Each structure stands twice: as C-alpha cells, then as structure tokens.
Amino acid sequence: MNINKVFDKIKGKKVIIIGDSMVDSYVLGKINRKSPEAPVPIVHIQKEEIKLGGAANVALNIQSLGMRPILCSVIGDDEDGKSFIKLCKKNNLETEGIIIDNQRKTTNKKRVIVNKKHILRIDNEETNYLESDTREKFMKNIEKLMSNNQIIIFQDYDKGVIEKKLIEKIKNINNNLFIAVDPKIRNFFEYKNIDLFKPNLNEMLNAFQSKDKSIKNLTIISDELRSKNNVKNLMITLSNKGLVINNNKGFIHNKIQKKKIIDVSGAGDTVISLATILFYLKLPEKFIAEMCNLAGGISCMSSGVSAINLKELIENAERNNLDIYL
C-alpha cells in the first residue's frame, strides 16, 4: 500500500479531542551578562510569541494529518483565554467545544529560550477539578458534538479538565467509539476498556512505583496494565530509546534512529495524534512503531511546540522505505 493512501482513508474524518488546553508562550533572547542582584543570567529579549499548547496542539496535529479536529476544553475568562480563542481562529480550529469559565484561569506555560536551548519555564495555571456546574455544561457540550463511529482522544495534562466522572460519562455514550488516551498520573488507572493508551516511560514507571527501566520490567508492568484496565493497544514512548507496543499480537520494542534533539516540547502530542490514526486503521504494529518514532524525531528537531507537517512526514517515511511494513 502507498503511504499516501493511508492518510487518504481518514481524510476529513471528525476527531474529538478532550483535555487540558493552554497557551504556550516563548521568550527568545540572548545572554550577555549576569545580574548584579543575584547569581543568575540576564536574558535580553529579542522576540516573544505565543502558540496553542496541550490538547490544542493535538488538535493542530490532527488537522495537519488531514482530519477534522473538534477541541473540547475549558479555559478562563482572562487575557490568556482571549489569546487562546484568537489563536484557534487563526489556525482554523473550531471553537464550539470550548467552555469559558470565569472561575478558572487559562493555563500559560512561558518558556525562555536562548540559542535554541530551553533554560527556564514559568507556569501560570490552576489544577483543581472543574466545579460541578461547569463539568455538567462541559459534558453536555461534548455529547452534543459526538456522533457514531467516533474517534476520541483524551489528552490529559492533570490540569483538572478530565476526571473519573467525565471519562465514564463519555465512554458510556455509545459503544462505537475508538478511544485513545495520553495520560498523566492522577487519572492513570481510571481509563478502562481503551483502544489505545500511550504513557511515556516516566509516567508508566511512576504509576507502578517502579524505577526499573529495563525492557523486561516494562513487559511485566505493561501486561499488568493491559489486563487490569482492559487496554487493547498499549504504547510506551521511551524518548531516545524509541517505543514499545504491547497488544494481543505480542510485545515489540522499536528503537529510534539517532537524531539531533533541539526541543522535546509537543513531541508526545504528535505521537498520540499519529498513533491514534494508525491504530484506528488497524495497520501493522511495525509500521505504526516506525511511523511514530519518525514523527516524534521530526518534532524534536525544531524549537517550540509545533504540529507535524504531513508532506514532510510522508517524504521521510518513503525515504526510509517504511511502506514495506504495510
């Protein structure tokens, strides 16, 4: 099969992304001297920019891969919230799934970048769960936007938008959902009967209170998680060690080619977006692993959060002859 045809199959399909959205702010500058007030460098600001982050970056990746993302999230009635809506409109993202809550603040992650290196991050956020009336309004809005044979991505950043009641409510709407999850620790074991579950290595080890990074240990705890939570496909990303996939067909460890890593921000968003599509299409695990490693590697080669470029991804996949795994 031609790799282009893979993406033609899902072109225009609606995907609902539920989760914590945020504004990613970047301060780019240079350091020429140290502060006389404290032993810290002084950053001379050369440029400032803002981008969509969190679940919104997953929506951008889904859009870049040719599908129609519907972002469902909660933001604050503040300046960052207004900037968030403007960025959505600028990037042609639909905003009907966004709830504005005047009791919350919009998460803003400010990164200070010097010579393409990330030297500091400042988070302005709120991590409490939604108030009951906001949660109910949010649930009803998601239900209104859903349809049969729907792809759902839970993009959980532990900022309070996703909780057990919401997970159970969404899952019980109908039985024809394909559900993918990019988890964090607070709700890690609340996701049951899931089609795709994609933690990273640290999240997986923390959930099982383990420090053993060996493939042998990952095999054991991934088997346990799949059995306990009825996870069909488990993918664990291992940073520069590649990724592993565990499902009914077995356990595979797919290593990654060495690449120059500039910034890992947003790489997980790219991988969950692509993995969701490929598992939904029931493509071979080796192809999925190679494609996700490739996409994650491309994402890490640029500074700041950004969506994958489909043309670049396909060109790289063809250059690496990944179609042999189809």
For residue 194, what are the CA distances in angstroms to 112, 160, 230, 285, 286? 37, 20, 7, 17, 20
Partners of 112 in the β-ladder: 27, 120
Comparing CA positions, the residue from 176, 183, 138 lying closest to residue 158 is: 183
Residue 223 is a catalytic residue: no
Spatial separation of the C-alpha atoms in residues 148 and 268, rounded to whole Å: 27
Chain centroid to Cα 81, Å, comes to: 20
Question: Which of 20, 156, 263, 269 is an active site residue?
Answer: 269
- To 5 degrees, how large is the angle CA 249–CA 61–CA 119? 105
For residue 98, what are the CA distances in angstroms to 24, 58, 69, 72, 274? 17, 15, 12, 5, 23
For residue 237, what are the CA distances in angstroms to 66, 94, 218, 240? 24, 30, 11, 9
Enter the tokens of residue 299. Answer: 């994402």
Spatial separation of the C-alpha atoms in residues 71 and 93, rounded to whole Å: 8
DSSP class of residue 94 equals B
- Residue 132, C-beta contacts closer than 8 angstroms, at least 6 positions apart: none
Enter the tokens of residue 228. Answer: 């306990």
For residue 33, what are the CA distances in angstroms to 111, 114, 156? 20, 13, 39
Residues with active-site annotation: 269
